[in-house]
Structure 1
Amino acid sequence: MPLPLLAFLLLALALAQRLVSPEEVARSQVIKRALPAVVRIHGTPLSAGEGDVVGTGFFVSPLRIVTNYHVVQDLTDLTVRLYDGRTFPAERFAVDPGIDLALLTVKGVQAPGVLSFSKAPTSSLPLGMGVVVVGFPYGQGPLASYGILSGIGPLEVPTPDPTIGAEVGEYLFTDAPLTVGNSGSPLLSLQGEVVGVMADVVGGPSGVGGIGVAVPAELALQSVQDLERFGIPQRGWLGASLVSLEELPPVLLRAVGLTTAQGAMVDRVEPGSPAARAGLRGASRDAQGRLLALGDVILAVNGTPVKDKVDVVRRIARYRPGDRVRLTLWREGRRLEVTLTLMARPRR
């Protein structure tokens, strides 16, 4: 082999070894495979005067795209733009506000790429594992960012709309840089599986003092399967509006013998719901809505103490329709236990 050619090959090999570690190779391959499946979502808000909204989604089947519910909640004229610039109309197929998820149907094209959800339990994901996010921050992209799985647990900070995502018991947290427009982006492992759906950034842009928040794949996959089959999610539903004890005047709690602010009061029971069938009692209020007497207070679900109304909803949502759940209640100055059979949340 001529010396100049040999020298060139050795230099190329040296550069490759210096610039491409095994982790960089895996990361690059994940991004390359994800790009055809990730789309930019665009729509016009229903409210006049608001600017157009842009988010991210990704194909999970030839015609279906997963994104966040809050991305498409109040949008019309939905379109999706593929990584190659082509744009196609889309429409909502089904939504799951409880975990902030929506399924879209795309018209006129089949997916140039499809991503698969990880089937691994959320609890098996190791902290510190490398993760990749591919999306459209500020509508630009698709762009990729990289970080680690920073933590798994409940979201403790308040959100703009507490009804969206209220049934997510545990989120995934990441330090991968994210910003506006990344909502609905896939959170990918270095094996190329979707381990989460990005939903929010807490405390500012992730990577700049903020934390990226994702719905775990285990929960998202269950929701997608339910939406495809039934059109609505099939998580457990109690059928009662709740008020956290910490929101109530302490004097009312003491009046019925409660010495704790941990728990949730049943405020209103929906007719025909699991709560109604189990005989749960709601609060008494006057014509102006002022509280006259406490309803049943939920202290524990299947023996596990609850902190507040959000905790109750999240624990109930871990079960499926038909499951039997035992509630520990405080009623008229004494503890008692009631077992109810859960139902699916009715279609609205």
Structure 2
Amino acid sequence: MKNTLKKLIPYAVVGLMSGATTFGAINYFNEKSNNSDFSYFAPKNSDAKYASFNMTGVGDDFVKAAKMTVPAVVSIKNYSTSKGRTSQQDLFDQFFGNPFGNNPKQQQQQQPPKDMPSGMGSGVIISPDGYIISNNHVIAGATKLEVVLSNKKSYVANLVGTDPTTDIALLKIEEKGLPYLNFANSDNVEVGQWVLAVGNPMGLNSTVTAGIISAKGRSIDLLSQQSRTPIESFIQTDAAINPGNSGGALVDPSGELIGINSAISSKTGYYEGYGFAVPSNLARKVVEDIKKYGLVQRGFLGVVPLDLSDQRQVAAYNQQKKTNLKSGNGVYLIEVAEKGGAEDAGLRNGDIVTKVDNTPISSYYDLSFAVGSKRPGDKVAVAYTRNGKENVVNVTLKDQKGGTSLRSKADLSVTEKIGSEFEPLSEKFKTDYGLNSGVIAKNVLEGSEISKIGVVDNYIVIEVNGKPVNSQKDIEKILQTYTGNVQIKYVDEYGRITTRGFKMP
């Protein structure tokens, strides 16, 4: 049974290291080195004068931007159950790394007290009536979310909705007249321009750091761990970002929101030079959908793509299919789904997509961003090559069920609402392990209702509301019109049977 079930990633401990020793050593050696000549470290008077002159305008902009931004950036405390704590810390580790590589069993035993948050991050107020944008990984697994403003005033927040595909979440607190930030057009930001990162790193509230945009459209293959259809087109910055900055603001010198800080590239779990933010245009689209429809409206081409910019993927495909594809820019269509938007427009297996609405497509992530930021029913112009000849067609995007209309929460299936799909167990498996019923949880979404009670991929659900289940249809039937508290009895990877519940969304 253990081979069938997925092992739970252990709880990781994140600590803070002091720099007092280093500071003391520097002072000591400075005092003992009176005869040494350190003058070459100091700039000449003229250099200092010109440096001051050149930074005057930028410094003024930083002060104005900081004054505008700090009051609109909040601290978010995530409180969750013991299983939720483990899952939540694992999720933070995926975005920031395990800084110490401690023993998993030791980590699992050192859980925070019940009255302490299991995770902390940041958020940005985006309207005066209390809507707050943050990261999905900041709020994942929470049973309670506390929001603390820069003036120390505290609120319990309601989770309006999440989108693991983009790592965006929307919260709401009951208040009026709050300071807030406006979304800027992130398409207009340029590499090299100054930015500020504002958040609450490592418990240091209302911290402002400065840097530049060092790249755009960056994919780091991070969100694929949380979503089957990730959208990654991060803004990369060298403004210092650390654990606790997640969900905070990346703003331009005018104080407008150009991104939501999400992750860093680090081997230690702390800042090593590069941070990544979800572009404001994508974040705005996600929260607008959640506010209006209760869920994100996402369009799909209806294709199975191969990223030609990934040499390993191309080599593996060539070996498997005995083909001779060459790596390069673009996305090769391995399969075009029946009755999907791509097939309706005339795209075929073997076509290479090179542009969407005049945006060059160099990789899979370019394609997922260009299409995934659209809604079902939207039309996009797709340029592709076939037999060396370039063509352009208009594709009407569809949702994953093949529809072109927008959906609300009421239109969702039961499994979409609770956040998991289910596969039946074989009769042999049931016999071998003494089970009379059961289905295997698959594609469990982080932050979903079923994940909050501790169910992860490959756990076995044996009963729902006291009734045995042997198929996804059984679960759909039990919960189709149900509106109360749901009881789930499941088996974890150690063979332990647990019953926990949630309110049907």
Task: State the TM-score bracket (shorter-chain normalisation).
Answer: 0.7 to 0.9
Contact 1:204–1:210 at 8 Å: present in 2 too? no
C-alpha distance in structure 2 between counterparts of 1:235 and 1:301, whole Å? 21
Identity, in percent, stands at: 24
Measured against aligned partners, the alpha-carbon deviations of 1:235-264 in whole angstroms (never above 9, x if no partner) come to 432345556553744244335xx4335644
Residue 88 of structure 1 corresponds to which residue in structure 2? 155
C-alpha distance in structure 1 between counterparts of 2:289 and 2:272, whole Å? 36
In the alignment, is residue 116 of structure 1 matched against residue 168 of structure 2? no
Higher helix share: 2
After TM superposition, give the deviation of residue 215 of structure 1 in Å. 1.4
Alignment of 1:98-113 (within 5 A): 98-106=165-173, 108-110=174-176, 112-113=178-179
Matching residue's letter, 1:144: V
Query: Secondary structure in 2 aligned to 1:98?
Result: coil
C-alpha distance in structure 2 between counterparts of 1:250 and 1:66, whole Å? 43
After TM superposition, give the deviation of residue 188 of structure 1 in Å. 1.2
After TM superposition, give the deviation of residue 160 of structure 1 in Å. 6.3
After TM superposition, give the deviation of residue 171 of structure 1 in Å. 2.3
Report how many residues are paired: 307
C-alpha distance in structure 2 between counterparts of 1:237 and 1:160, whole Å? 18
- Of residues 353, 372, 386 in structure 2, which corresponds to 1:300? 353
After TM superposition, give the deviation of residue 152 of structure 1 in Å. 1.7
Contact 2:250–2:257 at 8 Å: present in 1 too? yes
Contact 2:352–2:386 at 8 Å: present in 1 too? yes
After TM superposition, give the deviation of residue 233 of structure 1 in Å. 3.0
Change (3 A) 1:327 1:23: closer
Residue 209 of structure 1 corresponds to which residue in structure 2? 272
After TM superposition, give the deviation of residue 76 of structure 1 in Å. 2.0
Matching residue's letter, 2:61: A
Change (3 A) 1:251 1:190: closer
Residue 230 of structure 1 corresponds to which residue in structure 2? 293
C-alpha distance in structure 2 between counterparts of 1:205 and 1:193, whole Å? 31
Alignment of 1:1-348 (within 5 A): 21-45=56-80, 47-48=83-84, 50=86, 52-61=118-127, 62-106=129-173, 108-110=174-176, 112-119=178-185, 121-122=186-187, 124-155=188-219, 157-159=220-222, 161-163=224-226, 166-168=230-232, 170-203=233-266, 209-240=272-303, 242=305, 244=307, 245-246=313-314, 248-255=316-323, 258-261=324-327, 263-264=331-332, 266=334, 269=337, 273-274=340-341, 296-302=349-355, 309-320=364-375, 321-326=377-382, 328=384, 340-344=395-399, 348=416
Change (3 A) 1:138 1:230: same
Matching residue's letter, 1:66: I
C-alpha distance in structure 2 between counterparts of 1:224 and 1:241, whole Å? 27
C-alpha distance in structure 2 between counterparts of 1:28 and 1:336, whole Å? 50
C-alpha distance in structure 2 between counterparts of 1:115 and 1:153, whole Å? 23
Query: Secondary structure in 2 aligned to 1:236?
Result: coil
C-alpha distance in structure 1 between counterparts of 2:315 and 2:119, whole Å? 35
Matching residue's letter, 1:40: S
Contact 1:326–1:338 at 8 Å: present in 2 too? yes
Contact 2:231–2:368 at 8 Å: present in 1 too? yes
Unaligned runs of 5+ in 2: 1-51, 87-110, 112-117, 308-312, 401-406, 417-505
Contact 1:322–1:341 at 8 Å: present in 2 too? yes
Matching residue's letter, 1:36: P
C-alpha distance in structure 2 between counterparts of 1:264 and 1:45, whole Å? 43
Matching residue's letter, 2:397: L
Using structure 2 for the length normalisation, give the TM-score. 0.52
Contact 1:242–1:265 at 8 Å: present in 2 too? yes
C-alpha distance in structure 2 between counterparts of 1:300 and 1:166, whole Å? 18
Change (3 A) 1:261 1:135: same
Contact 1:176–1:206 at 8 Å: present in 2 too? no
Query: Secondary structure in 1 aligned to 2:368?
Result: helix
Contact 1:324–1:341 at 8 Å: present in 2 too? yes
Which deviates more from structure 2 when the two are superposed, residues 27-36 or residues 76-85?
27-36
After TM superposition, give the deviation of residue 55 of structure 1 in Å. 0.7
Which deviates more from structure 2 when the two are superposed, residues 46-55 or residues 96-105?
46-55
Matching residue's letter, 2:396: T
C-alpha distance in structure 2 between counterparts of 1:191 and 1:306, whole Å? 31
After TM superposition, give the deviation of residue 149 of structure 1 in Å. 2.0
Using structure 1 for the length normalisation, give the TM-score. 0.73
Matching residue's letter, 1:24: G
Contact 2:217–2:366 at 8 Å: present in 1 too? no
After TM superposition, give the deviation of residue 216 of structure 1 in Å. 1.6
Contact 1:177–1:205 at 8 Å: present in 2 too? no
After TM superposition, give the deviation of residue 92 of structure 1 in Å. 1.6
Measured against aligned partners, the alpha-carbon deviations of 1:164-217 in whole angstroms (never above 9, x if no partner) come to 58223x321111111001011111111111111111111358995320111122
C-alpha distance in structure 2 between counterparts of 1:313 and 1:48, whole Å? 30
Query: Secondary structure in 2 aligned to 1:93?
Result: strand
C-alpha distance in structure 1 between counterparts of 2:196 and 2:62, whole Å? 7
C-alpha distance in structure 1 between counterparts of 2:355 and 2:211, whole Å? 37
Which deviates more from structure 2 when the two are superposed, residues 299-308 or residues 188-197?
299-308
Change (3 A) 1:167 1:261: same
Root-mean-square deviation (CA, aligned residues, Å) is 3.7
Change (3 A) 1:194 1:329: same
Change (3 A) 1:53 1:297: farther
Query: Secondary structure in 2 aligned to 1:197?
Result: strand
